[in-house]
A and B are shown apart, each in its own frame.
Chain A
Amino acid sequence: ILNVEQSPQSLHVQEGDSTNFTCSFPSSNFYALHWYRWETAKSPEALFVMTLNGDEKKKGRISATLNTKEGYSYLYIKGSQPEDSATYLCAFIQGAQKLVFGQGTRLTINP
């Protein structure tokens, strides 16, 4: 079973502060990396799909970077708001079809 690690497991951030967290994955035979945002009592929703080394994606205040050679991706949130509170999941695809999720980073924004 592929090992996809997310750190930290949980994070408390003051409203207005910026934050980031990490997804680590095997660096061999990389195919794609997904980031999902999962709010309590809802379904996970896709943020980014990243396929190329050096990719940077941005959606509003959230951005992500990808380093396939060293096997990590960072997710950044600028100026955190209470609505950013959620669990952020990364999913790694090695080869085709085999999609493996990390255990998630649970983010809580304190007003």
Chain B
Amino acid sequence: EAQVTQNPRYLITVTGKKLTVTCSQNMNHEYMSWYRQDPGLGLRQIYYSMNVEVTDKGDVPEGYKVSRKEKRNFPLILESPSPNQTSLYFCASGTDAATNEKLFFGSGTQLSVL
């Protein structure tokens, strides 16, 4: 089954404790991206990747890191989480780096930073 697998689904952590949210897709997609969803603000792009070893900042990259060492995986790293990073996070992938094809989304990660 074609899917984007995102883990964990829920995460509660404390300020400053490094964490990684994993994202994996089995569709051989070139394009992958991370978004955060906050009430009233829509989905905001954190980072995106057009292919292996190619990553770029989205609109809200501060406090986040990503890597794309393999085509299927695109982890999101929070080196020192802060309470303002409490949010709902989505990973997405697509066939086309130019995104004129639809995106497939993971199931989301609800992160709470205390």
Q: Is the CB of B59 within 8 A of A1?
A: yes
Contacts between the two chains (Cβ within 8 Å), count:
66
Main secondary structure of the interface of A (DSSP, over half): strand
With A43-B108, A89-B43 already in contact, the answer to whether A99 and B99 are too (CB < 8 A) is yes
Chain A 34-75 per-residue mask, 1 if CB under 8 angstroms from chain B, else 0: 101000001111100101000000000000000000000000
| Interface size bracket, A side | 20 to 34
Residue of B nearest to A103 (CB): B42
Chain B 98-114 per-residue mask, 1 if CB under 8 angstroms from chain A, else 0: 11111111111000000
Q: Is the CB of A97 within 8 A of B31?
A: yes
With A43-B107, A44-B90, A97-B50 already in contact, the answer to whether A49 and B42 are too (CB < 8 A) is no
User: Chain A residues near B50 (CB, 8 Å)?
Assistant: 97
User: Chain A residues near B56 (CB, 8 Å)?
Assistant: 97
Residue of A nearest to B97 (CB): A97
Q: A31 an interface residue at 8 Å Cβ cutoff?
A: yes
With A1-B59, A44-B90 already in contact, the answer to whether A101 and B44 are too (CB < 8 A) is yes
Residue of A nearest to B98 (CB): A96
With A89-B43, A96-B98, A97-B97 already in contact, the answer to whether A46 and B103 are too (CB < 8 A) is yes
